[in-house]
Chain A
Amino acid sequence: MFESLTDKIESAFSFFNRITRLDEKQADEGLRKIRQALLESDVSLSVAKEFINNIKPKIVGQEVLKSVTPGQMIVKIVFDELVKVLGDEKKEINLKAVPPIKILVVGLQGSGKTTTSAKLAKYLEKQYSKKSMLVSLDVYRPAAQRQLEVLGNSNSIKTLPIMDGQFPLEISKRAINAASLSGEDVIIFDTAGRTQIDQQMMMELKQLENDIQPSEIILVADSLTGQDAVNIASEFKKTVSLSSIILTRIDGDGKGGAALSMKSITGCPIKFLGTGEGIDEMEVFHPDRIANRILGMGDVVSLVEKVSEGLEKEKIEELEENFKKGSFTFSDYLKQIQQMKKAGGMSGVLSMLPGVSKIKKQMEDSDLDESLLGKQEAIILSMTEKERDNPRVIDGSRKKRIANGSGTDISMVNKLLKQHKMMTTMMKKMSKGGRGALEGMDNVPPELFNNLK
């Protein structure tokens, strides 16, 4: 199965001469603009700085696609990274607990906790047929409990009857008893808004956490939040074990930089976005949409994507041409290995390949052995010209000599010979099979990576 990977690598290298790579100066220039864009979108300064620092090494040395400027290429790389940081994973609400499952909703004043609590109850009912009980622990703000009650009543969601004069801890106990009796699957606790520096109120939250032992603690935050986002999120995280974030008012025209700030600083997944005041106006979080808002360069991103799709086709066609031309010797392979090492080793090359999203993931989970290239190079260097051009002549004693000369062992030599054989077979197949043979190669089987370890 090794062949398909090698083929891919060759396809990248057949383009080597035409490819230009981003240098440090271009990276710095591009990143200056990116920094500006991030800050204009309210990404917290410290987070923006860190993001820029982290992404720079990923930009320098990257290939620039034909018909795309270095600046555009950088935007695309940044976009992909933003999507990654914001979270590719779709994270559901954690319902793995003994019913009644307890969810605690926390946040600053006016961020949208009460509204979101009701939305969550509705969502859990629709999505999982789970019945919720809504419980307001906000005994401070005028008519806060009443607000949740109204939302419950008008949407047929059960609410805990309001009893004046009770403290939040008493209410939570009453709620757990009531839900256990009446059989609700979930209790959603709405809490009073609090600033994260209000020690007394933060202490209350800590106590509620200890007492209720919720399986989810959700920070509800306003997507219009500015620079303070890092402070807010990190303090709430320090006080209680936050498990997720919901951003509200994404139906506004804010840039949503708080998403990046809060995700980066807490590591908590952003699970939903509030998209309006209505009970159904909540969406599962899509990182690419927010990345687009934050960067504000959606047209550039889609341009680069289009070009890269076009190029991918072109590359595949050229690769086929090469194969049709015929043979592939160890001398050819040696040249490739040497180029690959220059280009940052195996993962460096792989990450440049078109359409590698799937491979990338496998690569990350499979720990490529970067020293393999060096070993293979040594083995080929220990071969005579004749052996390189016609590996069939390599018998047992030659193998021994080559292994000794390269400081490897016979099994390594055998592995390489076998790999070469598979590659030539594959090539022959492909020169007959045409296009079809190359398609479907995106999905590299995991065994391949075991070969590389």
Chain B
Amino acid sequence: MGFLKNLKEGLFKSSSNISESVSNIFLKSKPNEKILEEIEDFMIQCDFGIDVASKFKLILANKKFSEEELKKENFYNIFSEEVTKILQPLEKKIVNTGPDFKTIIVCGVNGTGKTTTIGKLSKLFKNHNKKVVIGAADTFRAAAIDQLKVWCDKNNTEMIQSEVGADPASVAFKTLEYAKNNNKDLCIIDTAGRLQNKKNLMEEFAKIVRVLKKIDPDAPQETWIVLDATTGQNAIAQIEEFQKITPLTGIVMTKLDGTAKGGILVALADRFKIPIVAIGVGEKEEDLNQFIASEYSQALIK
């Protein structure tokens, strides 16, 4: 097999344009409807969404592949490589090496994993010798502050809090102020979960952003939205609405250790081109990975 393949490649490499096109005609063909439909179904089941799945299918339908590539087991790899191509430009490092001070707001709908992700992040940043302070700006949900506190204690990270029910914007303000006064590298704000269609809660979020700017006009340097991989097409609406309040600079997708594939990332890439920072793969502190497109795409077809 390897021998034949080498021989073929050798032949065609050395060949002229004519034989190149001859080879294309004879050896490459468009995928048949059956495999295309199978891939399309697969994309739908990964939450690509029906629009993106059919668009994607069309792209594949118009490409030519060798007989080998068109074998089912290989075609999934081809598909995976296409996914990589789409997502790779959106890879973004969690930890920047630069000395720049940053405020990171972590936002998203309820229960996606914001607080846990911050817990994991604080550990990661610590490991990179970053000085971090965290603001407990979810003053609403029962024991949200306690939950964050457990994480901060575990990682020896300072946390700024107010009493339950306090104005979240004031907590954010206090945290950033503290960060500036104490020469921190990073100020991370945990916010309450909010559904994007709730006007008053989105206004509350807008206020947090506004108030931070009073101290640092460039803040927030980063606003990361945490998406749950099990979420379906609603993730699009989530991005759309949060984006209206302040530009989103990163996506964190959690719960990829379950069976959900989080294919909505492809739909989001197609639409918003927001960088993807990290993926959550469990509930422990080490379960946060840098997002790497090729790894994700490979896992997708596993």
Query: Interface of A with B (CB < 8 Å)?
Result: 36, 39-42, 44-45, 108-112, 114, 140-144, 146-151, 154, 195-197, 222, 224-228, 231-232, 249, 251-255, 257-258, 277
With both chains docked as a complex, state the minimum distance between the C-beta of B282 and any C-beta of chain A, in angstroms.
9
| Interchain pairs with CB closer than 8 A, number | 131
Least CB separation from B54: chain A residue: A36
With both chains docked as a complex, state the minimum distance between the C-beta of A70 and any C-beta of chain B, in angstroms.
23
Judging by beta carbons under 8 Å apart, are B44 and A196 in contact? no
Judging by beta carbons under 8 Å apart, are B50 and A222 in contact? no
- Interface residue count for B (Cβ, 8 Å)? 42
* 6 interchain residue pairs of minimum CB distance: A226-B232, A110-B111, A42-B232, A142-B150, A147-B143, A143-B146
Query: When the two chains form the complex, which single residue of A108, A114, A143 contacts B230, counting CB atoms closer than 8 Å?
Result: A108
With both chains docked as a complex, state the minimum distance between the C-beta of B299 and any C-beta of chain A, in angstroms.
14
- Alpha-carbon separation in the docked complex, A313 to B281 (Å): 61
Query: When the two chains form the complex, which single residue of A42, A45, A147, A277 contacts B233, counting CB atoms closer than 8 Å?
Result: A42
Query: Interface of B with A (CB < 8 Å)?
Result: 41, 44-47, 49-50, 109-113, 119, 140-144, 146-147, 149-151, 195-198, 228, 230-234, 237, 255, 257-261, 264, 283
- Alpha-carbon separation in the docked complex, A195 to B41 (Å): 24
Least CB separation from A228: chain B residue: B260
Query: When the two chains form the complex, which single residue of A45, A110, A252 contacts B41, counting CB atoms closer than 8 Å?
Result: A45
Judging by beta carbons under 8 Å apart, are B234 and A254 in contact? yes
Judging by beta carbons under 8 Å apart, are B113 and A109 in contact? yes
Least CB separation from A40: chain B residue: B50
Q: Helix, strand, loop or mixed for chain A's interface? A: loop
Query: When the two chains form the complex, which single residue of A142, A146, A196, A254 contacts B232, counting CB atoms closer than 8 Å?
Result: A254
Residues of A within 8 A of B142 (CB): 114, 147-148, 150-151, 154
Q: Can you name 5 A-B pairs with beta carbons within 8 Å? A: A146-B143, A147-B147, A225-B231, A227-B260, A257-B232
Query: When the two chains form the complex, which single residue of B45, B140, B232, B257 contacts A225, counting CB atoms closer than 8 Å?
Result: B232
- Alpha-carbon separation in the docked complex, A275 to B110 (Å): 12
Residues of B within 8 A of A39 (CB): 44, 50
Judging by beta carbons under 8 Å apart, are A226 and B264 in contact? yes
Judging by beta carbons under 8 Å apart, are B231 and A277 in contact? no
Least CB separation from A197: chain B residue: B259
Judging by beta carbons under 8 Å apart, are B258 and A226 in contact? no
Residues of A within 8 A of B230 (CB): 108, 222, 225-226, 228, 232
Residues of B within 8 A of A228 (CB): 47, 230, 258-261
Least CB separation from B164: chain A residue: A150
Judging by beta carbons under 8 Å apart, are A222 and B111 in contact? yes
Least CB separation from A142: chain B residue: B150
Residues of B within 8 A of A143 (CB): 143, 146-147, 149-150
With both chains docked as a complex, state the minimum distance between the C-beta of B25 and any C-beta of chain A, in angstroms.
35
Among the interface residues B144, B197, B228, B264, which one has the most CB atoms of the partner chain A within 10 A? B228
Judging by beta carbons under 8 Å apart, are A141 and B283 in contact? yes
Residues of B within 8 A of A40 (CB): 49-50, 233
- Alpha-carbon separation in the docked complex, A249 to B238 (Å): 13
Least CB separation from B150: chain A residue: A142
Judging by beta carbons under 8 Å apart, are A227 and B143 in contact? no
With both chains docked as a complex, state the minimum distance between the C-beta of B266 and any C-beta of chain A, in angstroms.
13
Judging by beta carbons under 8 Å apart, are B259 and A196 in contact? yes
Query: When the two chains form the complex, which single residue of A45, A142, A225, A277 contacts B147, counting CB atoms closer than 8 Å?
Result: A142
Residues of A within 8 A of B196 (CB): 252-253
